């Protein structure tokens, strides 16, 4: 079997975990860096009515411009929120009340 279709199940994190939030922040950051490296910023000129490239038609240029704007807004607005939420959630989990499993004695058969 290939590595893409393995039967082993990877432990999925809960949506309400700091690691899950940080994974999304990293994903959005990687998307933004790739968009910058590929030069999609020049296509945002379609917002004022000009085409960013003479090699592409206006539909493709407008799609790339809109994609860059959404990726940029995700990076600027969503990534800081995700990082702050992960930090606050981690602090809340540390300072919060302990679960019943934490309160039980290590060896319950000692009486």
Q: Supply the pLDDT for residue 49.
A: 78
Q: Supply the pLDDT for residue 78.
A: 96
Distance separating the N- and C-terminal Cα atoms of the chain? 52
> Mean pLDDT for each consecutive 10-residue tract of the chain (111 residues)?
53 77 96 95 84 80 92 96 95 81 58 52
In a domain, 83, yes or no: yes
Q: Supply the pLDDT for residue 1.
A: 44
pTM (global) more than 0.75: no
Q: Supply the pLDDT for residue 99.
A: 64
CA distance 6 to 78: 33
CA distance 51 to 12: 43
Instruction: Tell me the residue range of the domain where 51 lies.
Output: 27-93
In a domain, 53, yes or no: yes
How many distinct structural domains can be found in the chain? 1
In a domain, 104, yes or no: no
In a domain, 12, yes or no: no
In a domain, 64, yes or no: yes
């Amino acid at each position: 079997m290939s590595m893409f279709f393995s039967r082993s199940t990877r432990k999925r994190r809960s949506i309400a975990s700091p690691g899950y939030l940080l994974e999304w922040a990293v994903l959005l950051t990687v998307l933004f860096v790739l968009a910058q490296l590929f030069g999609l910023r020049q296509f945002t000129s379609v917002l004022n009515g000009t085409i960013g490239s003479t090699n592409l038609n206006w539909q493709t240029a407008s799609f790339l411009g809109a994609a860059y704007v959404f990726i940029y807004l995700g990076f600027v607005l969503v990534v800081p929120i995700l990082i702050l939420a992960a930090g606050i959630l981690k602090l809340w989990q540390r300072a919060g009340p302990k679960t019943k499993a934490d309160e039980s004695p290590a060896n319950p058969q000692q009486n």
